[in-house]
């Protein structure tokens, strides 16, 4: 008989090592259940109050007996609450599975179960044996090309990254004052969510959103809606070739962890060529912690390996990488999110 994920909030006895290991082994079941719930949007259906499973099934287009089994399983791990007569309501965890909640994880839960991501993790063993990207082995092309060839999955991925950025931007702004600068370039800034948050927090600051043409093509209206059209410039290009020059600060959020050492150094050198000696580089990434702790960042590191044959880095690894790219590490500033700000300046003579 197969064991189930054992995260019963009502259990009072300490779990045995064997039972705890079995809970970890079966954690994939919770991930897939959350993916299905997010895809069906059942948490959003509970925003206005409790509903019985029959109405949830009808609205979500689901098979009612099967949906009940999904909902009761997720209620057992605290995502929903099951009342009498198969009526379900949101818990604080479940509220984070709604689409418009602060800190929403709905789109991330949708993404982790998409074929490209789910199947790639199934080939982690190949990745560990060879050092190659499991995504490329699984899909036949690198993860970026795969998503370009599968626009539906790419849209889910993009929305997942945007959802993560909302919570992360708040944490970054709480930890660092961008008002000290006159101008900032968001290198590889996507649709500009972080840059918009920075500009709104620092009214005198001017910004440049820099990313590939197809990425930034639709970014301008969001800046205009926030009243920022006259304070931002949207520039298309590749950070392997050149970035906008002679600004005060250069921000790169979740960029370097997508690339191995050689390509990450190339990106840094591109930025260095554009920067004055007085400029500041702010790399916003996970910084891997010491042995026997920091599971979130270390499993994120595995995800970078699976997806891109890339990595999350430790503090010393960032110091060495920056030095090879022409920078001197100044400080690492943690935030209340998993991300830290790795602050650097152009190295003398670089």
User: Which residues are identified as catalytic?
Assistant: 257
Coil, helix or strand at residue 155? helix
For residue 88, give the H/E element and its range: strand 87-90
| Strands 51-52 and 87-90, bridge-based pairing | antiparallel
Share of the chain residues as helix, strand and coil, in percent rounded to the nearest 5: 50, 15, 30
| Strands 313-314 and 327-334, bridge-based pairing | unpaired
Q: How many CA atoms lie within 13 A of 317 on its CB side?
A: 15
Report yes or no: 148 and 135 within 8 Å, Cβ to Cβ: no
Tokens of 221: 């209206």
Of 314, 347, 311, residue with least CA distance to 329: 347
Count of CB atoms situated within 10 Å of the CB of 325: 23
- Alpha helix stretches (DSSP H) within 97-240: 106-112, 115-121, 124-130, 134-139, 143-149, 151-175, 193-201, 213-216, 220-225
Largest CA distance in the chain: 73
Q: Please give the Cα distance from 156 to 255 (Å, whole number).
A: 19
């Amino acid at each position: 008989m197969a064991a189930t994920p054992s995260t019963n909030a009502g259990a009072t006895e300490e779990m045995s090592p064997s039972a705890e290991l079995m809970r970890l082994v079966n954690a994939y079941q919770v991930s897939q259940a959350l993916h299905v719930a997010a895809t069906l949007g059942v948490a959003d259906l509970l925003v206005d109050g409790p509903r019985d499973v029959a109405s949830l099934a009808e609205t979500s287009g689901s098979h009612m007996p099967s949906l009940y089994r999904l909902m009761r399983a997720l209620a057992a791990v605290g995502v929903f609450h099951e009342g009498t007569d198969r009526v379900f309501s949101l818990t604080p965890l479940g509220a984070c599975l709604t689409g418009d909640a602060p800190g929403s994880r709905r789109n991330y839960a949708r993404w982790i179960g998409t074929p490209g991501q789910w199947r790639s993790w199934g080939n982690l063993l190949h990745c560990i044996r060879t050092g190659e990207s499991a995504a490329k082995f699984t899909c036949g092309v690198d993860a970026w090309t795969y998503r370009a060839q599968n626009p539906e999955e790419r849209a889910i991925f993009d929305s997942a990254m945007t959802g993560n950025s909302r919570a992360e931007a708040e944490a970054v702004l709480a930890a660092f004052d961008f008002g000290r600068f006159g101008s900032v370039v968001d290198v590889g800034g996507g649709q500009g969510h972080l840059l918009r948050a920075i500009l709104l927090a620092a009214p005198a600051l001017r910004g440049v959103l820099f990313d590939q043409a197809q990425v930034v093509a639709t970014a301008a209206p969001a800046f205009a809606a926030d009243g920022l059209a006259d304070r931002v410039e949207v520039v298309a290009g590749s950070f392997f070739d050149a970035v906008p020059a002679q600004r005060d600060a250069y921000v790169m959020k979740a960029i370097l962890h997508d690339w191995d050492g050689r390509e990450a150094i190339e990106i840094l050198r591109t930025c260095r060529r554009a920067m004055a000696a007085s400029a500041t580089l702010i790399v916003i990434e996970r910084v891997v912690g010491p042995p026997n702790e920091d599971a979130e960042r270390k499993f994120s590191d595995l995800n970078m390996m699976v997806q891109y044959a890339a990595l999350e880095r430790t503090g010393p690894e960032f110091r060495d990488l920056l030095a090879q790219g022409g920078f001197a590490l100044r400080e690492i500033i943690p935030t209340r999110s998993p991300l830290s700000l790795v602050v650097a300046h152009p190295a003398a003579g670089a």
